[in-house]
Amino acid sequence: MSDQYDVIVIGAGPAGYAAAIRCAQLGFSTACIDASVGRDGAPVLGGTCLNWGCIPSKALLDASHKFVEAKDHFGEIGLEVSGLAVDVAKMMVRKEQVVKGLTDGIASLFKGNGVTGLAGTGKLLAGRRVALQGHDGTVEELQAGSVILAAGSVPMEIPPAPLTPDRIVDSTGALEFQAVPERLGVIGAGVIGLELGSVWRRLGSEVVILEALPDFLPMADRRIARDALKVFKGQGLDIRLGAKVTGAEVADSGVRVAFEEDGAEQRLTVDKLIVAVGRRPNTAGLLAEDSGVALDERGFIAVDDYCATAVAGVHAVGDCVRGPMLAHKGTEEGVMVAERIAGFKPAVNYDAVPNVIYTHPEIAWVGQTEAVATDSGAPVKTGAFPFAASGRALAANDAVGVVKLVADAESDRLLGMHVFGPQASEIVAQGVIGMEFDASAEDLGLTMFAHPTLSEAVHEAALGVAGRAIHMVNRKAKPKA
Ligand code: FAD
Ligand code: NAD
């Protein structure tokens, strides 16, 4: 017998659970299937983000940042600390508590909104039918009016560094270390490499990051990438660019890593090696051969601008479709799809997706870099304000970095905001809102910001676009008539 739901969502990560909740809010009978189980074998909601991604990594980033503040910087502001020590086990327990609180929260949201959570693996069949295989192996077939695929992504592996249970690990393993490794190697100086490399560096590891590309953070603003590389190296992250890993093997002494750098074969021995070379869509076993849903050339589920697949009534959202692999991007897609199923016509603004790297200082941006805007042929103008001139940042002893705005030279329309600095993740939201509302740099310059705040740097950078910043000397002062 077939069960009947208006909507079945496969995957309960930020894309899937948001889609399911919004569908239920819109009055659809909704089921959300998820295969994930926690360490105790019990089903968990929340996907990568809550269980093995955003949240546990931020718990460790915040804890390790506080440790470094206390160890290295409290003295600078007249606070003496003694007896400071790292208790990794306790840190991990707290991280798990934070995760559990949030994943249980999704279960409460499902209950409160009337979403039926189904534990097991879902497979899309033809005709908007879904086969649900429970954790006990039983299979049942469900029928839906609409299906939303939100299967997320999994870490990529590379042949020279096959994972082992304990020594060569992916990001999930790197969130679980029970002691601070003395020597840590990381393959990939991307978001995960920098965030998790920072966590363990702050807690005391010697960290070497091997990055295959010759450029550091090629997607970021060039000035910010340059400044950030210098700052991170100063923090003790030994970042090697243009380093191609050719092999990694576990030995008694640790993990022996071989890599090529500047044309020469190099060797390195570490206690743990994190492989952080990107993620790939998690579509294995998701689609029956006759489901009609196609993958694109990179293995993502092929969708249009509104996350519709080629099969009527089947959508796909989040990391398993094109675009940045970010929790908030998936959430927006999930909500958009729910509303489109209900007959509304919202769209996701892919030009205004914020990106954040939670190092310290943080790196955050939205929209185009100066280089991309210039390459696209638009005449651009920029304004930048350093946190070294921000009263609030100086008072907080946290004055490294800059806010940079990119605007269209003719229309003054905001094209991008790039932040390297304290709380960049929060500050960048102002650029996102500005871009959503088609703000000009002048609009931001005419807006009043509370003093003293870090956000004043946005105001000054906006004024700087027109050469009118007050708290720095403008490069080319252009007095307004
Ligand atoms: P996922 O969160 O991957 O969820 C997919 C769910 O679907 C999983 O629970 C999976 O078990 C389930 N599933 C898959 N296939 C099936 C099936 N056939 N049947 C049933 N269930 C299935 N992003 C940010 O925006 N900010 C951050 O700070 C951030 N930090 C991160 C840190 C780390 C270490 C990692 C690894 C990722 C981080 N990300 C971050 C990325 C973020 O976690 C993902 O972009 C986000 O989780 C994607 O959401 P999703 O719902 O598409 O997929
Ligand atoms: P990434 O794409 O950010 O970085 C991977 C890095 O590894 C790249 O710099 C790449 O050049 C390098 N690389 C690839 N193959 C290599 C090799 N063989 N040797 C050496 N270097 C190699 O991927 P990631 O850091 O694994 O993160 C995966 C995804 O998760 C990203 O898309 C990211 O958006 C998401 N994520 C987001 C956040 C956040 O928003 N703060 C945090 C973590 C992860």
Q: What is the pLDDT of residues 110-130, one digit of tens each?
A: 999 999 999 999 999 999 999
Q: Which atom of ligand 2 is nearest to the CA of 190?
A: 4
* Angstrom distance (rounded) from CA 427 to CA 72: 25
- Counting residues of the chain whose pLDDT is more than 90, the rounded percentage is 97
Kindly give the number of the ligand 1 atom that is closest to the alpha carbon of 320.
52
What is the reported pLDDT for 476?
61
Write down the residue that tokens 């915040």 correspond to: 62
Mean pLDDT computed over every residue of the chain: 97
CATH superfamily of 352-465: FAD/NAD-linked reductase, C-terminal dimerisation domain (3.30.390.30)
CB distance 342 to 411 below 8 Å? no
CA 192 to ligand 2 center in whole angstroms: 6
Average pLDDT of the segment spanning 81-88: 98
Is it the case that residue 478 has pLDDT exceeding 60? Answer: no
Residue nearest to atom 11 of ligand 1 (CA): 36
Which pLDDT belongs to residue 1?
44
Decide if pLDDT at 465 tops 80: yes
- Measuring from atom 41 of ligand 1, which residue has the nearest CA? 326
Long-range pairs for 102-106: beta carbons < 8 A, 24 or more residues apart: 102/46, 102/50, 102/55, 103/38, 103/44, 103/45, 103/46, 103/50, 103/51, 106/12, 106/17, 106/45, 106/46, 106/50
Which residues have CB under 6 Å of ligand 1?
10-16, 33-36, 47-49, 52-54, 57, 121-122, 150-153, 171, 192, 282, 285-286, 318-319, 325-328, 330, 358
User: Closest residue (by CA) to atom 23 of ligand 2?
Assistant: 278
DSSP 374-430: HHTT--EEEEEEEGGG-HHHHHTT----EEEEEEETTT-BEEEEEEEETTHHHHHHH
Which top CATH class is 168-277? Answer: alpha beta
Residue in 208, 279, 356 to alter for ligand 2 test, most ligand atoms within 8 A of Cβ: 279
Predicted confidence (pLDDT) per residue in 5-43, tens digit: 999 999 999 999 999 999 999 999 999 999 999 989 999
Which is the catalytic residue, given 65, 135, 328, 451?
A: 451
Per-residue pLDDT at 433:
98
The arithmetic mean of pLDDT across residues 172-176, rounded, is 98
Query: pLDDT tens digits, residue range 402-437?
Result: 999 999 999 999 999 999 999 999 999 999 999 999
Which tens digits make up the pLDDT trace of 186-234? Answer: 999 999 999 999 999 999 999 999 999 999 999 999 999 999 999 999 9
* Whether the Cβ atoms of residue 421 and residue 427 lie closer than 8 Å to each other: yes
Q: How many angstroms is it from 130 CA to the middle of ligand 1?
A: 21
Residues with CB under 6 A from ligand 2: 158, 187-193, 195, 210-213, 244-245, 276-279, 324-326, 356-358
Q: How far apart are the first and last CA of the chain?
A: 77
- Which numbered atom of ligand 1 lies nearest the CA of 36? 11
Cα of 363 to ligand 2 centre, how many Å? 15
User: Is the pLDDT assigned to residue 2 strictly greater than 90?
Assistant: no
Token output for 101: 């609180």
Over range 75-104, report the average pLDDT. Answer: 98
Position 3 pLDDT exceeds 80? no
- Burial of 138-165, coded b for 16+ CB within 10 Å and e otherwise, reads eeeebbbebbbbbbbbbbeeeebbebee
Residue 164 pLDDT level (bands cut at 50, 70, 90): very high
Residue ranges, CATH 3.50.50.60, the chain: 3-155+280-348, 168-277
CATH, domain 3-155+280-348, list 3.40.190.10, 3.50.50.60, 3.90.1650.10, 3.30.420.10: 3.50.50.60
The yes-or-no answer on residue 451 being catalytic is yes
Q: Cα–Cα distances in Å, from 370 out to 137, 374, 414?
A: 53, 6, 11
Provide CATH 3.30.390.30 ranges for the chain. 352-465
